[in-house]
Structure 1
Amino acid sequence: MNRGKKSDRYKRILLVQFPSDRCTSMRPPPGIGYLAATLKSAGIEYDILDMTFPDCEFEDLKNKIREFKPDLIGISFFTLMYKRHYQWIKELKNMGMDFRVICGGPHASSVKEDVMKDCDEIDYCCVNEGEETLLELCRGKPVSEIKGLIHRECGKIIYNGDRDFIKDLDNLPKPTFEKFELGKYIQKEIPLVTSRGCPFRCIFCSVRLVMGRGFRARTPKNVVDEIEYWVKRGYKQFAIVDDNFTLIGERVFEICNEIDRREIGYLEFRLNNGVRADRLTKDMLIRMRDVGFRFIQIAVEGGNNKVLKSLHKDETIETIETAMKMACESGAEVYANWVVGAPDETWEDVKDSLRIANRSCAFKTDFLNLIPTPNTELFEWVEKNNYFVVQPEVYLNDPSYFYRKPVFETPIFSIEDRLRVQKVHKLINRKLMRKMVHRKLRLYGKLVAMVGSMIVASDIFQYVFYNNRDFRRSVDLVRSTIQVREDKKRRKVSV
């Protein structure tokens, strides 16, 4: 890319990640990480403010603006808490400083022009991938010619049309997170985006609205180059945040082989976003485990084929259970998640899910309320049938609904039954966690295993684990030590 030019429309860009109140600051956000890398490569001056840190207040954003004096502020945010985000933007524009605002991220890509209809203070909106759109806007390309951009002209809101998705992801500058406060994140972990897009059609998923259904992947060499970059800087833990990492099995093997070839050393990979069971094989799981894939989340979603079909999962419960078993046997720590409230789902169907969870080998399970987000098939179905018990503008601006509060019900699955699911699941999850922790700690004696399993499964431990940086990093260090011992034992057995 070319260096910064005097003719650029915007020369000082402040990139901001708004908090959704759903997630704590676990790791740096890869989305604005890629935007920052793009601006840096182009020689455009930029700064960063990640507001997901609990101690970051709105006043900190205003102070950053006064200090940096940007001429363009790029804001990324999710749909959750969008009304608060709009209010913040209005207050920023009242500061009396001369800057423009461009918004992007999942919410902007999902509702498009509605963002600018609802908030007059937003000057531009970026739909889908933002690297090329933001760069063209900064460089001074005529606004009306920039694909993927929504803008205002003569009092009208104009969308220039979809931009083609980036096919060659290797050409994108890799995030280096130089201006991020890496030491403040809860985990000493780097997010990796090795692919974009998902070809499947789950009714609750908004990925197709944001990244499209076309699967695009980085080459194994390019992926491992990024891993090696961070290993040289003291990082060994990585979260692969792809929407469908295992879609192409051959590519997974090639990435593993490239990691092995370079002899990088001890690594930990987490598949946090959930992978499809029908894309896992025994050989793949073993190979992944050999190079450091120690945590795998499997997106189960439903407890029988009827529910899976209604969710358009395009896989069977038999395949899912087999994959969970294979993943556990590979030595990985398996997490499994279900969603509650699929069309045609009943309490009897959920009992199938609970039975599978109860007999599974998973370290942890989760049962999540289905939350209809705008323009997904689920949202349209609930709205069409008038099943909302809480209106979207309410639940999408109250983070408590994203945990355990149902927002719609059907004639065959009441709110009361949905709430009952959470109570039963909590008991199952605690039992599973105790069992798996006990198994891991047996190496240190029966008493340690018994006491340790009770502590880890407690609510207070889980809360601190997910919200306190120092505690989380200490526990991760202990887990890594146990994993190394388990690896040595497993290798001896295999020999």
Structure 2
Amino acid sequence: MKVLLINPAHKGYYFRLGAIYPPLGLMYISSVLKRANHPVTLIDMNVQPFDWQKFDYSDFDVVGISVDTPRFPLAKQIALRAKNHGVITVLGGPHATAEYESILKEGICDYVVLGEGERTFLQLIESLERGEPHPQIGGLAYLSEGEVFARPPEFVQSLDELPFPDRENVKLYKTKFCGQPATSMITSRGCPFDCEFCSASQFMGRRIRERSVENVLEELELIKKMDYGSVIFFDDNFTLNAKKTIELCEGMLKRNLNFRWWAFARADELLNREDLLEAMSKSGCKMLFIGFESAEDKVLKEYKKGLSSSIAFEVIKLLKKYKIDVFASFVIGALSDTKESIMKTVQLAKKLKASIVQFSILTPYPGTRLYERLKSKILSKNFSLYDGTHLVFEHPNFSPSELKKLFVKAYYCVYTSPRMIFTRGIPFLLKLLKNRGKDESYDLRFGET
């Protein structure tokens, strides 16, 4: 069957500030389908012109659309348009997995793929070819005679069995890191932690499934041949298995894979692991994304983060020793947050002297425990606002506009520091202010109303 895969455009702050990466999920599905001799076209609307309103979807048998929460409104319109052309439509991704019942009952699509999509999507295509409209497939949901039928997702246990992501169109991406063309990849799936605001453990499972080091190195060699000089590892927790991470770093050195790379890590996994940090640094690690989240331990406890804020400076000091920069992430707007606790978090962000600082507003994404806890307090179901820059639930201490002002002030406070202003501050703040809503104006002095 002829398949069209679509990655809807993202218009949120972080994407408008340049955070655009290839859609690995769809790229894996594309490779699996092509290996089974199904013709596939993959469109990423973030980097490719695609007029979804005028496009003739009837040229395809099946249209598959990947969707997270802020992109759901656009994904819904595309799906309905495809259905109107008589094409079988399939939604997948974190939001579709969490909200599959309402999506199917609303008639937005024909099928929803739950969780990981490679095997389920392929099995669905093969069943449709055999004329089976209601296949009994793990990880598939559909509506029949007004009733939703769904089987729980089945995780791919041996990731080495999957072909490498389809990188046919990755040259369209202009992402750079350390001045080098960059692309993304993963070495594992799953997250054993269960942070209140994160859906990773629900979507990918809490058991870590790892690719073999040899398999990862083979993909890195392929990427090198494509003239990439940088890699971004999008594992939810790249350093969880320190022994394997060290083995991978050593393999990169032996094969002269001279990448500059960054990854995601937890602060507590880096303490007392100088062997790990030394191996990472030697193999080209230049930055780690670390979620410090808050300066208040009561907030970290609320988030179920399993960390103490007291380790932040120790971790930063250790990383600087090995010349690894830090991308520090913080989440403001916890139920226990006050203006004073947010100011304390902002001051921590300044004092850490991280290379990049990111603030997000606490957002109850469907599929998280936070969403279930706050269902009765949700202020808006306009999912385009669920981008980490808007307050979408009734907060005990802030109105949406009050927290939005604190959010912008937090960025201003950090990026106008003498250390940041001439390196990252001016370009970043110009983009941030340019992308604010037309009706938004702020007094950017912290401590002022």
TM-score if structure 2 supplies the norm length?
0.86
Q: Write the letter of the residue equivalent to 1:182.
A: K
Q: Write the letter of the residue equivalent to 1:204.
A: F
| Cross-structure match for 1:87 | 77
| Cross-structure match for 2:171 | 182
| Cross-structure match for 2:389 | 404
Report how far residue 427 of structure 1 moved.
3.3
3-state SS of 1:177 partner: coil
Measure, in 1, the Cα distance between the counterparts of 2:147 and 2:424. Answer: 56
Measure, in 2, the Cα distance between the counterparts of 1:461 and 1:404. Answer: 15
Relative to 1, partners in 2 of residues 1:329 and 1:413: Cα closer, same or farther, differing over 3 Å?
farther
Residues 38, 172 of structure 1: 8 Å contact kept = yes
Matched, 1:70 2:38: no
Relative to 1, partners in 2 of residues 1:58 and 1:185: Cα closer, same or farther, differing over 3 Å?
farther
3-state SS of 1:144 partner: coil
Measure, in 1, the Cα distance between the counterparts of 2:299 and 2:50. Answer: 42
Measure, in 2, the Cα distance between the counterparts of 1:139 and 1:360. Answer: 53
| Cross-structure match for 1:474 | none
Of 101, 104, 107, the match for 1:116:
104
3-state SS of 1:295 partner: strand
| Cross-structure match for 1:225 | 218
Of 40, 43, 46, the match for 2:37:
43
Relative to 1, partners in 2 of residues 1:34 and 1:269: Cα closer, same or farther, differing over 3 Å?
same
Measure, in 1, the Cα distance between the counterparts of 2:201 and 2:208. Answer: 10
Report how far residue 86 of structure 1 moved.
1.7
Report how far residue 195 of structure 1 moved.
0.7
Give the total of aligned pairs.
Answer: 420
Of 4, 15, 21, the match for 2:5:
15
Residues 330, 359 of structure 2: 8 Å contact kept = yes
3-state SS of 1:454 partner: helix
Report how far residue 319 of structure 1 moved.
2.4
Relative to 1, partners in 2 of residues 1:29 and 1:349: Cα closer, same or farther, differing over 3 Å?
same
Measure, in 1, the Cα distance between the counterparts of 2:175 and 2:255. Answer: 29
Please, which runs of 5 or more residues in structure 1 have no aligned partner? Answer: 1-10, 437-452, 468-495
Matched, 1:104 2:92: yes
| Cross-structure match for 2:438 | none
Which piece of structure 1 moves more, 340-349 or 225-234?
340-349
| Cross-structure match for 1:235 | 228
| Cross-structure match for 2:137 | 146
Measure, in 2, the Cα distance between the counterparts of 1:34 and 1:305. Answer: 39
Which piece of structure 1 moves more, 79-88 or 455-464?
455-464
| Cross-structure match for 2:207 | 214
Of 316, 332, 343, the match for 1:340:
332
Matched, 1:435 2:419: yes
Relative to 1, partners in 2 of residues 1:428 and 1:461: Cα closer, same or farther, differing over 3 Å?
closer
Residues 203, 311 of structure 1: 8 Å contact kept = yes
Residues 294, 331 of structure 2: 8 Å contact kept = yes
Measure, in 1, the Cα distance between the counterparts of 2:307 and 2:422. Answer: 35
Residues 109, 209 of structure 1: 8 Å contact kept = no
| Cross-structure match for 2:25 | 31
| Cross-structure match for 1:304 | 296
Relative to 1, partners in 2 of residues 1:228 and 1:207: Cα closer, same or farther, differing over 3 Å?
same
Q: Specify the structure having the higher radius of gyration (Cα).
A: 1
Of 425, 431, 448, the match for 1:457:
425
Report how far residue 413 of structure 1 moved.
4.8
3-state SS of 1:190 partner: strand
Q: Write the letter of the residue equivalent to 1:197.
A: G
| Cross-structure match for 1:450 | none
Residues 269, 295 of structure 1: 8 Å contact kept = yes
Report how far residue 183 of structure 1 moved.
2.9
Residues 8, 74 of structure 2: 8 Å contact kept = no
Measure, in 2, the Cα distance between the counterparts of 1:242 and 1:16. Answer: 22
C-alpha offsets along residues 30-79 of structure 1, whole Å, 9 cap, x if unaligned?
A: 0111001101111211111111227433246x14x35xx21111111111
TM-score if structure 1 supplies the norm length?
0.79
Measure, in 2, the Cα distance between the counterparts of 1:417 and 1:88. Answer: 34
Q: Write the letter of the residue equivalent to 1:104.
A: G
Which piece of structure 1 moves more, 183-192 or 312-321?
183-192
| Cross-structure match for 1:316 | 308
Matched, 1:284 2:272: no
Q: Write the letter of the residue equivalent to 2:39.
A: E
Of 220, 241, 252, the match for 2:245:
252
Residues 325, 361 of structure 1: 8 Å contact kept = no
Measure, in 2, the Cα distance between the counterparts of 1:134 and 1:416. Answer: 42
Q: Write the letter of the residue equivalent to 2:208.
A: F
| Cross-structure match for 2:122 | 135
Relative to 1, partners in 2 of residues 1:268 and 1:275: Cα closer, same or farther, differing over 3 Å?
same
Q: Write the letter of the residue equivalent to 2:285.
A: F
Relative to 1, partners in 2 of residues 1:231 and 1:54: Cα closer, same or farther, differing over 3 Å?
closer
Report how far residue 364 of structure 1 moved.
1.9
Report how far residue 209 of structure 1 moved.
2.5
Matched, 1:380 2:365: no
3-state SS of 1:397 partner: helix
| Cross-structure match for 1:365 | 357
Residues 28, 185 of structure 1: 8 Å contact kept = no
Report how far residue 403 of structure 1 moved.
4.9
3-state SS of 2:419 partner: helix
Measure, in 2, the Cα distance between the counterparts of 1:43 and 1:420. Answer: 52
Relative to 1, partners in 2 of residues 1:213 and 1:460: Cα closer, same or farther, differing over 3 Å?
closer
Report how far residue 204 of structure 1 moved.
0.5
Q: Write the letter of the residue equivalent to 1:114.
A: S
Which piece of structure 1 moves more, 401-410 or 286-295?
401-410
Report how far residue 167 of structure 1 moved.
1.2
Please, which runs of 5 or more residues in structure 2 have no aligned partner? Answer: 436-449
Q: Percent identity?
A: 28
Report how far residue 133 of structure 1 moved.
0.6
RMSD: 2.5
